Amino acid sequence: MPVTAGHQPLRILRELTDGRRSRLVVILLLSLVATAGTLALPLLVSGLIVAVQARQDLLWRAIAMSVAALGGAGAAAGSGYLLARLGERMVHRLRSRIMAHVLRLPLRTVRGHGSGDLLSRVTADSAQLRTIADLGVVQLPTAVVTAAGTLAVMAWLDPVLLVAALGGFLVAGVIIGLVVRGLRRAHTRYQGALGLLAHRFSTVLDALPMVKACQAEARLSTRLAQASQHTSTAALGTIRLEALMSPVLGLGQQIGLVAVVVTGGARYAAGALAVADLVAFLLCLLQLVAPIMMISMGAGQVQAGLAARGRFDEILALSTEDAEDPPQAPVPLPAEAPAVRFRAVGFAHDRRPVLHEVDLDIPRRGLTALLGVSGAGKTTTLALIERFLRPDTGTVEILGRDSREWPLAELRGRIAYLDQEFTLLADSVRANLTVGHAAEVPEHQLWHALDQVALTAAVRALPEGLDTVLGGEVDLSGGQRQRLALARVSLSSAEIVLLDEPTSQLDSGNEDLLRTTIDTLAADRAVLVVAHRLSTVRQAGKVILLADGRVQASGSHEQVLLDSPVYRDLLAAQAVAPR
């Protein structure tokens, strides 16, 4: 898949501190205060023991211990909250960025990844990015500083005991280091398997009526369970590695503690170590567990975040549709050029030829019907006009200009498109009518558009009229949704209108309304209708017949009827009398 030239890899620290460096400084200062309180506590305890032995005043030492403990805890809580808040805002920005980027990717790229996989990246992977912000930016470095400071205090108290303690932790560190190396690969496999499962499940949900009609619930449930088992197997790979962390660290602590007790007891008996220093050292040893646990466990979690960052970055690196747009320059359009012109256009889906050397013209005004059996290349032709796809060979001209020379936004602003599925958003009726309009559309225009497709009464009957959100418990019928999509097209001021089988779910009465709407549109613009129902073509000023990816015939209905046996066979199959 094409990758954007000069793409900058995702940098979490840069994203986290974007416009918020002062907050990160505050977080770091609070973390240092918390670390200082943690490091001071064993020394204060040692001083307290010395004071008890010397029968000195204990009040100020108890106050100092309380301040260190409470102050460190409060600073740690404040640092953790501010960091989590900063991380969540970063995730929000990145999630919004990747969603906007996906919407601008070519259709082929989006379909290649699958909606479930992309959804997994936006949801599960974005949550994993939080771990890098929460742990990798501040907490892990703070844990390293705390561990290093604790070791420095232990070295100051008794270097011999430190050597004895480190023996156990070094054994644990070697094992943990090996585990962390495998965690990133394991998390990458798991996230990929989770994305595949989400994609398969979402495609089944999209086809749920068909699934139920075919009684395929059991068979598809089995397949989904197999995909879930694959995901669980990948998850177990990470679980096995992560399960080693805590026991190995605990073993290291136990070995170190036994070594310190034995060595410390011997040194105390020999008079080389004071009891206060031994107690402080033991406190440091116990205190060392928390930062080392954070480093070991956090390193594993950061590996999951880094794997998620890689999956995020993989999508953000993909080229958007407008990446190769020419510079916008006011080039006048030829007034007499056809609305659409194909010249020797060839196109293949996955190396399977669909169109071969196609030449066709769509007049600047009037209705043109594009016919052919299923698989003839009709929908592909519309996709090439909209530049959802690019031709492999030949040129597609829109209003006299090669489609590759149009800035994409300007090109699509000249074209209104209604797809086969009559796609609507899970949003209000008003939002569906005005999608693509930069300015607010007056309400009376919305009602006029609905009236043209006989939907006024149905929309007024909805609980909140134009502001009723479609989908779920409140929805329109299939034919009503189709007419709502047609109303959206009628509100467009585009010079070219593309309709992909607009009558598929309409009864005869509503089909007559549609023809009136199409006639109105065709009066001052180019309307291209892809039709399987041949009754639609009788009102067309021009008919183009596709067969086996080629233009088999082109001209008026009467001319094509006279010249094309294929067209006559289609008419006979549909039992439509020639006019």
167-176 pLDDT tens trace: 766 766 676 6
CA distances from 474 to 136, 461, 464, 467 (A): 46, 11, 10, 12
> Rounded distance, CA 160 to CA 279, Å?
15
What's the Rg (C-alpha) of the chain?
A: 35
Average pLDDT over residues 381-389: 90
Q: Where are the alpha helices (DSSP H) in 104-158?
A: 107-113, 115-120, 126-131, 140-157
Q: Which residues contact 510 (CB under 8 A, 6 or more apart)?
A: 453, 454, 479, 483
Rounded to the nearest integer, the mean pLDDT of the chain is: 80
In the chain, what percentage of residues exceed pLDDT 70?
Answer: 85
Q: Which residues contact 540 (CB under 8 A, 6 or more apart)?
A: 367, 368, 369, 529, 557
What CATH number is given to the structural domain containing 476?
Answer: 3.40.50.300
79 and 164, same domain (yes or no): no
88 and 174, same domain (yes or no): no
In the chain, what percentage of residues exceed pLDDT 90?
Answer: 12
What's the pLDDT band for 207 if we cut at 50, 70, 90?
low
Q: Which of 213, 237, 272 is the last residue of a domain?
A: 272
Residue-wise pLDDT for 297-339, tens only, equals 676 677 777 777 788 888 888 888 877 777 765 567 777 889 9
> Is the pLDDT assigned to residue 394 strictly greater than 90?
yes
**Of 225 and 300, more confident:** 225
83 and 229, same domain (yes or no): no
> Rounded distance, CA 543 to CA 508, Å?
22
Lowest mean pLDDT among 218-227, 331-340, 450-459: 218-227
Maximum average pLDDT range among 96-105, 323-332, 389-398: 389-398
68 and 78, same domain (yes or no): yes
> Is the pLDDT assigned to residue 55 strictly greater than 80?
no
- HEC string of 268-306? HHCCCCCHHHHHHHHHHHHHHHHHHHHHHHHHHHHHHHH
Residue-wise pLDDT for 122-135, tens only, equals 777 777 777 777 77
442 and 534, same domain (yes or no): yes
What's the pLDDT band for 578 if we cut at 50, 70, 90?
very low
Average pLDDT over residues 166-191: 70
**Of 357 and 23, more confident:** 357
> Is the pLDDT assigned to residue 250 strictly greater than 70?
no
Does residue 470 sit within a domain? yes
> Rounded distance, CA 153 to CA 113, Å?
53
**CA 385, 339, 559 angle in degrees (round to 5)?**
100
Residue 363: HSE in the Cβ half-sphere, 13 Å Cα cutoff: 16
CA distances from 115 to 198, 200, 202, 390, 429 (A): 8, 9, 7, 22, 25
What's the pLDDT band for 579 if we cut at 50, 70, 90?
very low
pLDDT at 385: 93
Beta bridge mates, 415: 496
447 and 523, same domain (yes or no): yes
90 and 106, same domain (yes or no): yes
Does residue 398 sit within a domain? yes
> Is the pLDDT assigned to residue 489 strictly greater than 80?
yes
> Is the pLDDT assigned to residue 475 strictly greater than 50?
yes
Domain around 192:
159-272
User: What domain count does the chain have?
Assistant: 3
Residue-wise pLDDT for 106-122, tens only, equals 888 887 877 777 777 77
> Rounded distance, CA 172 to CA 394, Å?
65
> Rounded distance, CA 340 to CA 363, Å?
7
Does residue 285 sit within a domain? no
Does residue 283 sit within a domain? no
pLDDT at 498: 92
166 and 150, same domain (yes or no): no
Does residue 255 sit within a domain? yes
**Of 37 and 170, more confident:** 37
> Is the pLDDT assigned to residue 253 strictly greater than 70?
no
Residue 559, SS3 per DSSP: helix
Q: Report whether 317 contacts 2 (CB < 8 A).
A: no
Q: Which residues contact 402 (CB under 8 A, 6 or more apart)?
A: 395, 396
Beta bridge mates, 497: 416, 527
Q: Which residues contact 330 (CB under 8 A, 6 or more apart)?
A: none
Does residue 332 sit within a domain? no
- Element (H or E) spanning 561, and its range? helix 557-563
pTM (whole model) above 0.85: no
96 and 163, same domain (yes or no): no
> Is the pLDDT assigned to residue 575 strictly greater than 70?
no
What CATH number is given to the structural domain containing 128?
Answer: 1.20.1560.10
Beta bridge mates, 366: 526
Give one DSSP letter per residue of 310-346, joined into a string. Answer: HHHHHHHTBPPGGGGPPPP--PPPPTTS-SEEEEEEE
90 and 195, same domain (yes or no): no
What's the pLDDT band for 205 if we cut at 50, 70, 90?
low
pLDDT at 447: 93
Q: Report whether 176 contacts 249 (CB < 8 A).
A: yes
Does residue 326 sit within a domain? no
Does residue 278 sit within a domain? no
81 and 50, same domain (yes or no): yes
496 and 417, same domain (yes or no): yes
What does residue 178 show for φ and ψ, rounded to 5 degrees?
A: -65, -40
